[in-house]
Amino acid sequence: MKNVCFYLNIHQPYRLKRYRFFDIGNDHYYYDDFANEDIISNLSERSYLPMCRTLLDMANEYGQDFKCAVSISGTAIEQLQQSEPEVIELLRKLSDKGCIEFLGGTFAHSLASIEDPEEFMRQVKVEQKTIKMVFGQTPKVFANTELIYDDDVAALIQAMGFKAVLVPGAKHILGWKSPDYVYSSAVAPKLKMLFTNDKLASDISHNFNNTEWGEYPLTADKYVNWIAELPAEEQIVNIALSMDTFGGFIPASSGIFDFLKALPRFGKEKGVRFTSPSEIVGKLKAVDSVTVPFAISYVDGTRIDVSAWKGNDLQREALNKLYGIAERVSMVEDRKIQQDWEYLQGSDHFFYMATNNQADAAFSPYDSPFAAFTNYMNVLADFLVRVEEQFPENVDNEELNSLLLTIRNQSSEIEQLNKEVKALRKNILEAEDSNYAAVVVEEQVKEKSVAPKKEKAAEKKAPAKKACKKTAAKKEEK
């Protein structure tokens, strides 16, 4: 039986409005509400809603024979809840049916994993709580922003309790190894690695609607045959796609939804099973360990690095400015500042500044990478002013570090006290249960010891009663 897992990613950032230099200090609202709502509504109509309905039909038709995984950012959840709540409702239904497994990630689809480990862990916890609250699941498998991964990220993910992580099937990392096995991290042995099969993913995302492709048209039975014909010993085929692919990049008129819906039927005929990552992690052992010393991602074809967000001076300057105030922001209690801090970390803002791949310019709302940089830095300048009002720059690093240390120590003390309180409550409950049990046993012992005495007393009384009756009878005869 060949195992296949589809991973569908949903993410939308909060796009920034045109923010001029003269707005700094005067306008603290940064977002293009019209563009954000228009894009999320358009995508929902063309992609998210028909895709969720297709998955729901598949869940009803195939039951547990079809499962997949969904990675959805917190910013996408918020926008869908506000503008397209039906998408959230359908995802809930799919979750209730056990058709989809939600993955962990960063709330804002950020680059915190390669910029600020503490902020990264905070965002992951926020995302976990959001998934639990909205969909009722606690993620066990992790998918970072655009699958950014290296050994340092692996250590953090394992420390947060995740069992596995989705990793780009980078050829320079795998070498001669196939991506279709379960591996483990060389630095975090308990963390299993699920590598993507980029060839099979590309057959859908890039070639499904490509009339010049040698294998055109791609049909469900042909696709399942390719999977079934892979070496029998290969364990799992991981296919990662953006949900936008279905109905967004590839229109519904192409038959993309019918293609997806037919996969489990042909899979059943060919011994191909569509499953979830947690099931795979639970039943398959890692065949080897893999080390990834430098960060890789899923964005470009080579999977070599993270230059899509850190490839030029503009991007690095913006990131340094943003994460340079991370410690100060962590002490700010202003809810609006905390919200803006989340939204400004979105990886899309830095992707728009990229100059190394002009083919991706179509995804940018700006005329040029420099325009994206200028607009973002104007917004960031205003945000810095607001943060400085809370914690001025004249607070030197030594004083700031002292404040941070105090806050962290207090947090640790509170956490330790909470654990002690829970332990005491547990001991009290156990003691109460023990005392109650002792009382019950004591009463039962008393009852058992009293019963024989009553029986003996009754036996003694019985002859006496008989004697009394005989005496009374003799008197009556006389």
Helix axes 74-83, 33-43, angle to 10 degrees: 90
Whole-angstrom Cα Rg for the chain: 32
Average pLDDT of the residues in 52-74:
96
Q: State both tokens at 392.
A: 């001025």
Per residue in 260-273, pLDDT (tens digit) is: 999 999 999 999 99
Confidence of residue 455 (pLDDT cuts 50, 70, 90): low
What's 101's DSSP letter? E
Confidence of residue 304 (pLDDT cuts 50, 70, 90): confident
The answer to which of 131-135, 236-240, 423-427 has the lowest mean pLDDT is: 423-427
Q: Give the Cβ contact number of residue 322 at 10 Å.
A: 24
pLDDT-derived band at 303, boundaries 50, 70, 90: low
Residues 6+ apart with CB under 8 A from 251: 46, 209
pTM: 0.82
Nearest to 364 by CA among 74, 16, 79: 16
pLDDT at 279 over 60: yes
| Alpha helices for 363-396 (secondary structure H) | 369-390
Q: Between 335 and 424, where is the model more confident?
A: 335
Q: What average pLDDT does range 232-252 have in this prediction?
A: 96
**DSSP letter assigned to residue 17:** P
Structure tokens at 1: 């039986």
User: Which residues lie across from 339 on neighbouring strands?
Assistant: none
**Whole-angstrom distance, CA of residue 365 vs CA of residue 351:** 11
The model's pLDDT over 68-103, given as tens digits with 9 standing for 90+, comes to 999 999 999 999 999 999 999 999 999 999 999 999
CB distance 131 to 370 below 8 Å = no
**In this structure, are residues 387 and 321 in contact, taking their beta carbons and an 8 Å threshold?**
no
Residues 6 or more apart in contact with residue 27 via CB below 8 angstroms: 19, 382
| Phi, psi dihedrals of residue 451, rounded to the nearest 5° | -60, -50
CA dihedral sign of residues 230, 231, 232, 234: negative
Task: Give the per-residue pLDDT at 391.
Answer: 79
Q: Angle at the Cα of 368 (from 321 to 366), degrees rounded to 5?
A: 85
Task: Identify the pLDDT of residue 356.
Answer: 77
